[in-house]
Structure 1
Amino acid sequence: MADEAQIRLNYKGVSEILKNSPEFAALANATARQIAAQIGPDAVVTEYTSDRQAASVGVPDYRQARDGALTRAAAAVGLTVRAKA
């Protein structure tokens, strides 16, 4: 039987990428815009920096409650959406 590979996550390196990488920021922003495009004109994209580069997509609450607009749009661009545990 083959030995199982072990992977050690470099938390400091990942943190540096999330905080300072223009490529990561561009990817996060582009993904948010793709999700918003799936939803339509009432979606709002906010690009921001907190402890990392980030973007959010907002929709009117009735759109999410009625047809799961944000959940469906995120899935349409390849993201996995699941309920908070």
Structure 2
Amino acid sequence: MVIAFVTKTLKNHPALIPLLVFISGGTIMSGTYLARLALRNPDVSWDRKNNPEPWNNIAPNEQYKLFAVNMDYSKLKKDRPDF
């Protein structure tokens, strides 16, 4: 029913075809990005039983975004005095 209405409208107003193409493309791209975030993001956990907190199981040589997990803070210079 909806497809027949859209087809009839596009036959009567062919200038709407590019609009429909771009809106459909944007919808598909945003859905794909949302699926990528849900499936590939390390902060998302779909398995509650085997690995409920995967962000805690980072190997020492891995880096999460721009934060070094295995940094040795005892070797840093102190720029300010302790209070």
Structure number with higher strand proportion:
1
TM-score between both structures, scaled by the size of structure 1: 0.27
Q: Determine which structure has more spread, i.e. the larger CA radius of gyration.
A: 2
Query: TM-score, structure 2 length as denominator?
Result: 0.27
Q: Give the number of the structure with larger relative contact order, counting CA–CA contacts within 8 Å between residues 6 or more apart.
A: 1
